[in-house]
Each structure stands twice: as C-alpha cells, then as structure tokens.
Structure 1
C-alpha cells in the first residue's frame, strides 16, 4: 500500500527542524545583529534579557543556565528532525519544550507572543509528527531496513 504521509512527514520534519534551528542561530548571532532582517535577538545577551522577562522568578545566573539548556536541546532536536534519527522521540521532545515555552510566555507576557512566534503550531506539529507510523527518507528508515 502506498504511504500517503511519505512526503508530508519529510516536509514537516524539515520545517520543524528549521523552526528550532533558526532561533538558535539568532541567539548565537549567526543571523546578524538585532533589528536586521527578522533577527529578534542577534546575540546571547539579548536572548537572556528576553528570557529573564519570561522567568521573573529566577535569578539571572539560573536564567542563563536554563537558556543554555534550552538552546542545546533545541539544536539537538533540530538536527535529529532534519536527518530523521530518533524522529518519534525528537518530535515528542519538540512538543514538550515548546509547550514549556507556551506556559512561560503566557504567564509572563500574555498569549499574543506565543501566537506571533508560532509556538502553538510548533507544539502541535511535533505531536502530529510523533504519531506518523513511518519516516521515509530518514536514518530511522535506513536502520529499520537494515534490522529487517
């Protein structure tokens, strides 16, 4: 039977991976300085300043650590999704981390920011991708074929 999700799951994997890769690149200054193009932060300091507004209960050093953990996690998720390795787990992790972002954003700055940033869409996309039965054109698929 032909798999109707063959191409959509690939596109969703790549789109979600890029959705995580872009803000990581922004906060590391790879996309340029703040205010150019669609650059939100432009550097780590601006990112931590913004993150501090989302986590007012935490001291600055804690926010810096949590921001670092989030950044590394987002980078790993992005890579795993794009190459299609442990896709189900990466998709679930994508949903959980973005759901966490939604909670912090809604409680601190209101519902409009997560809507503007597409965080609800990313959360839902991750949950949907985690339910796809087969990941064509992925390392997962190659490993499944190899193991029989």
Structure 2
C-alpha cells in the first residue's frame, strides 16, 4: 500500500521543528539584537520580561525557571521533530506545550496574540502529526528497520 503521508509528514515535521527552534534562537540572542529586523526578544532578559506579563500570578524567579523549562522543551521538541526521533511523543508534547501557551496568552493578553503568532495552528498541527501512522525519512523509521 502506498503511504500518502510520506512527504506531508516530513514537511510538517520540518515546519513545526523550525517553529520551535526559531523562538529559542531569538530568546538566546542568536538571531540578532532586540529591535532589529523581525527579532521579538533578542535576549533572555527581554524574553523573561514578556513571559512575566503572560504569567502575572508567578513571581519573577519562578517565571525564569518556567521560561527555562519551556525553552529546553522547545529545543528538544524542535530537534526531535526535525530528525524524526520519538516523533509521536514529540508531536504530542508540542501540542501540549503550545496549548499551555494558548491558555496563558489568552488569559493575560487576550485571544488575538496566540492567533497572530499561529499558536493555535501549531498546536493543532502537532496533534495531527502525532496521529500519522508512519514517519518515513525519520530516525524512528530507521531504528524500526534494524
């Protein structure tokens, strides 16, 4: 039987992986300084300042820890999706993480920000990816063959 998901799952994995890695690169200052080009934060401090507005119920030290956890999660999710490692679980984690972003963003700054940033799309696309039966051209597929 022909697998019609070969190319779509690959493109979806890459798109979502890049979607997770780009903001990590931004908040670590790898894409440039704040205020230049399309740079949202440009450094960790600006990222934590913004994250504090999204989580007003938490003290800044807690927000710093939660921001670090989210950044590490995004880094691993992005890499795992691109290489296709533990893809089903990475996609589920991506969907849950973005759903968490949706809730905090909506409660603190309104529904328009998560819509503008495509967080709903990323969450739904991640969930959809987790239901694809086979991840051709992935590390998962390569390891399953051995």
TM range (shorter): over 0.9
Q: 2:87 is matched with which residue?
A: 87
TM-score (norm 2): 0.99
Q: 1:100 is matched with which residue?
A: 100
Matches of 2:36 and 2:81, distance apart in 1: 28
Matches of 1:35 and 1:20, distance apart in 2: 21
Q: 2:40 is matched with which residue?
A: 40
Secondary structure at 2:35 match in 1? coil
Matches of 2:99 and 2:38, distance apart in 1: 23
Q: 1:29 is matched with which residue?
A: 29
Deviations 1:58-99 (A, max 9, x none): 000000000000000000000100000000000000000000
Runs of 4+ in 1 over 4 A off after TM superposition: none
Q: 1:133 is matched with which residue?
A: 133
Secondary structure at 1:40 match in 2? coil
Unaligned runs of 5+ in 1: none
C-alpha deviation, 1:3, in angstroms: 0.6
Q: 1:71 is matched with which residue?
A: 71
Matches of 1:140 and 1:127, distance apart in 2: 18
Task: Give the alignment's Cα RMSD to 1 decimal.
Answer: 0.4
TM-score (norm 1): 0.98
Secondary structure at 1:70 match in 2? helix
Q: 1:143 is matched with which residue?
A: 143
Number of residues paired by the alignment? Answer: 146
Unaligned runs of 5+ in 2: none
Secondary structure at 1:38 match in 2? coil
